[in-house]
Structures are given as structure tokens and as C-alpha cells.
Amino acid sequence: MSKETHINIPNSSSFEMRCGVVIAIFAALMAITDLLAGKYDADEIIGTNDKAMAYSWYQSKSIKETLVQGEISLLMSLKEANAIQKDAIIAVDNHLADLAKKSVQYKKEKDEILRGSKTVGQENWVQDVGGEYGHVIGANEIEAQLAILSTAGDRFDIAILLYQVCLVLGAVSLVLRKPSFQTIFFRGMWLLGLIGSGMSLWAFSFIQNSLA
């Protein structure tokens, strides 16, 4: 009886050591994954705010364009109705020309705000940011980035869930005393941990490749 106890204790101790090391590794990987997920979640929140600001900016340009077009329509109606004095015709025509330029300008600004400076090309840069041209990130570009961050965030969440279940299986394997059950739970921990690691790497590489 004493001999059997002497043989089983080292085996149990060895398993506990191996299992503890594996649990520590997967716990560290889960912490790294959680850190990355938190960073990209913060980026998604910032991107959502930027998208809202971009659409508000676009809407303000649309309102200005609508006001200009309304004024053009009113002046043209007055001209057609001969309701403008002859000596004011030239001034009205000049004002109409200025309004037409503003209307075109607003259309270009809206296009750049919607699609971004990189997409419209340098020849169509009309909207400055901080006094510099070519730095407008379009609402469509922000939406595309948000879609990428959302997809990656879902994959990070799955990876963290797999890690958590993996650690639970590892903890259970330490409590069990039947070797066959220990082996099953230990292998299950390895399997879920590796799948979680793969999912985490997939999410990270997806973001890096998509936003490069």
C-alpha cells in the first residue's frame, strides 16, 4: 500500500505541474487577446463618433446647397416674370453666377466628405481640414473601417470565450482524480486553447490586412 502511494504521488504531481503551466500559458494568451479586443473596441467607438460627425458635416453642406439652389430658383423665377428692374439685371446675373459656383463647390465638398480625399483624387480636393487639403476621411471610408473592426471584434469575443472554457476544463482536470477523465479534460483544454489562439490570430491578421 505504501509502495502504491509512493508511485502515484509523483505522477499526480507531474500532471498538475504540466497542466498548471498550460493553464498559465492560455491565461496569458487570453489576457493579450482581451487587451487587443479592448483596443479595437475603443477604435470602433471612436470611428462611430467620427462617422456621426462626418454625416453631420455632409448634412450641413447639403443644407447650404439647398439654400443656394432655392435662391437661384427664386431669382430665376423673378427674372422670368420681369419682376426685376432693368438696372438691377446685371447685378442679379452676377449674383446668379456666384450662386452657381457655390452650388458646384458644395457638391464637390459633399462628394469629398462622403468618399474621402484619397478616393476623389487630388484634382478634386476642395475641402480643407485644419487649413490643409487632402486630409478628409470620407464617411464611406469610416463605415468600411467600422465593418472590419466589428467583424474582428466578433472573432476576438469568440476567442476569449474559447479561452475561458479552456481554462475551466483545465481547472476541472486538476480536481479530478481518475486519470482517464483527467486526460479527456486536459486534451479538451488543449483543443479549445489552440482553437482560441487561432481565432485570435485570425482576427488580428484580418484587421492588419484589411486596414493596411
3-state SS record for the chain? CHHHHHHHHHHHHHHHHHHHHHHHHHHHHHHHHHHHHHHHHHHHHHHHHHHHHHHHHHHHHHHHHHHHHHHHHHHHHHHHCCCCCHHHHHHHHHHHHHHHHHHHHHHHHHHHHHHCHHHHCHHHCCCEECCEECCCCCHHHHHHHHHHHHHHHHHHHHHHHHHHHHHHHHHHHHHCCCHHHHHHHHHHHHHHHHHHHHHHHHHHHHHHHHCC
**pLDDT tens for the 212 residues of the chain, in order:** 444 444 343 456 888 899 999 999 999 999 999 999 999 999 999 999 999 999 999 999 999 999 999 999 999 999 888 888 888 889 999 999 999 999 999 999 999 999 999 999 999 999 988 889 999 999 999 999 999 999 999 999 999 999 999 999 999 998 888 888 999 999 999 999 999 999 999 999 999 898 76
pLDDT of residue 104: 93
Is the pTM higher than 0.95? no
Q: Which residues contact 1 (CB under 8 A, 6 or more apart)?
A: none
Q: In angstroms, rounded to a whole number, what is the distance separating the alpha carbons of residues 185 and 190?
A: 9
**Dihedral angle sign, alpha carbons of residues 131, 50, 151, 156:** positive
Q: What type of residue is 143?
A: E
Q: Give how far the C-alpha of residue 28 lies from the chain's centroid of Cα atoms, to the nearest Å.
A: 25
Return the C-alpha cell found at 99: 450662386
Place of cell 500559458: 25
What are 101's three cell numbers?
A: 459656383
Residues 103/145, Cβ–Cβ less than 8 Å: no
Cβ atoms of 159 and 200 closer than 8 Å: yes
CB 17 within 8 A of CB 184: no
Strand segments (E) across the chain: 128-129, 132-133
